[in-house]
Amino acid sequence: MEQFDYVVVGGGTAGSVLANRLSEDPDVTVLVLEAGGSHVPANVDAAPLWFTLLGSPIDWGYQTVPQPGLNGRTVYEPRGKLLGGSSNLYIMMHVRGHSSDFDNWAYQGAAGWSYADLMPYFSKLEAQEDLTDPRIGTSGPQTVTNAGGPDANPMSRVFIDACKELGHPEVPDFNGPQMMGAGWHHLDVRDGERRGALKSFLEPALGRPNLTVRPDAQAAGLVFEGTRCVGVRYRQQSPAATVGDGRELPGVDRAEPGDRDVRAAREVIVCMGAIESPKLLLLSGLGAADQLRQFDIPVVADLPGVGENFHNHVLTGLIAETADPVRPGRQNLSESALFTVSQPGMVAPDLQLAFVHVPFDIIVGQNHPNAVSILPGVVRPNSRGTIRLASADPFAHPLIDPNYLGDRSDLDRLVRAFKLSREIFATSAFKEHLKGELMPGPGVRTDAEIREFVRNRADCYHHQAGSCRMGIDDLAVVDPQLRVHGVQGVRVVDASVMPAVPSGNCHTAIVAIAERAADLIKEARDV
């Protein structure tokens, strides 16, 4: 049987970071197993074309179970299926989150995960080009640019001016001391090219002789000897036929197709994301005993929190037709935003209004290509859902239930954000630029009509989190060192460990989690 010091299960955002950082030591061997392939479609690298990747062969294309809060609709949940994972699909906003997001993690038992604790890791990962704040990083692997530079779309500036007209301050950097207000996003983009975890972390490490990266290798279960995880069972598949332009990643490894086991001399690190990581734990006998027995899965550790606390940001959208053609996007199509609160007196934002200088609805866009959108969203949701096994088949999708708008407060706040979006479109700053609202249109005016529109049109924010929560209580899945409770030799490192998703786009926080996890793993090795 093959053996490596570390087996990283999942080559997405967190897995890419760990592959790089753990293999920095030439004396350790690292294997990365990734269910997706190694062919990178050309549209991955082109920042303005991210939307063409949704529903493509590099997207798992998950669907939720019917959501009562959304009038029984199912919701499409995109996740990346390719080396680099969902960092190939995300919209490239570089948002750390509010300091209180991480302080709350620490308050709830995740010692060592406060904002002050994570600050060195945010700085370590960043190579920000503009010096907006002394706390930013300038020499890390992750290129960070200001969307307000020469490639900025003029309509994005109009949105900021409209927010200022309503009394919201303009802030120079959402990652600085003042997050609340309107401003330009910082982006993981350089010269119109995506700079996600694939380019920033994984590709620079692919030539290292102690790093083996194995695509088309889907994990089926963790291998235990007693309560110690000693390896991974996986299925090696033949690479899928490539479609369209793109590039093949060099330096990857392929085993012969078939079901295989690999042994980890030190640790297995699960980095499959908030949907697949709890599924793998459950398949491996880590979870609520009564659930496991339903599928005749032997119980290794009775962990009732596995798959609980699953949640996501939730948004809806408004579209307005413009008086003149909108200049095509050169960056990520969403360059400016407003972070604000749903009620006075809150110390951190719970609403994010993203401005998009295209029509976000495909059907509306076909008939009205010259249009812009505001996407109001709740970024501190109270609703919590679950990830459950659909069967004992390791290759079947799990049952995904984010429970969108299940808590009344989320619906109330999303309605408030919708109304604020209308106020922004009604400002004098937008007056000369807009012809009228296309969606939802003048037929939606009363509170009851708005609430019904929101239920019918609310959607996934692509920020799935929380299903293997870290902490010290009975429902925590991993401890503050990200080690799975009740067993040895296995950690979880991805968005599933977040007790609560940060109040903003979460890619940067996932990278920071993986950066700190790499140090925790190295410290454990040296003990």
Q: Under a CB-based contact definition with an 8 Å cutoff, are residues 14 and 517 in contact?
A: yes
Q: Is 385 within 8 Å of 401 (Cβ atoms)?
A: yes
Q: CA 127 from chain center: how many Å?
A: 20
Q: At what angle do helices 115-125 and 99-107 cross, to 10 degrees?
A: 130
Which H or E element spans position 262? strand 258-270
Helices (H), 92-177: 99-107, 115-125, 154-165
In whole angstroms, what is the distance from residue 123 CA to residue 449 CA? 45
Q: What is the 3-state secondary structure (H, E, C) of 424-451?
A: HHCCHHHHCCEEEEEECCCCCCCHHHHH
Listing DSSP states for 201-217 in one string gives IIHHHTT-TTEEEE-SE
The answer to whether the CB of 87 falls within 8 A of the CB of 44 is no
Pairing between β-strand 211-214 and β-strand 217-225 as defined by DSSP bridges: unpaired
CA dist., res. 438 & res. 424, Å (int):
15
In sequence order, which ranges of 60-192 are alpha helices (DSSP H)? Answer: 99-107, 115-125, 154-165
Any idea which residues carry the catalytic annotation? 463
Sheet with strand 142-146: strands edge to edge = 126-128, 142-146, 186-187
CA–CA distances in Å: residue 334 to residues 49, 407, 508: 12, 28, 17
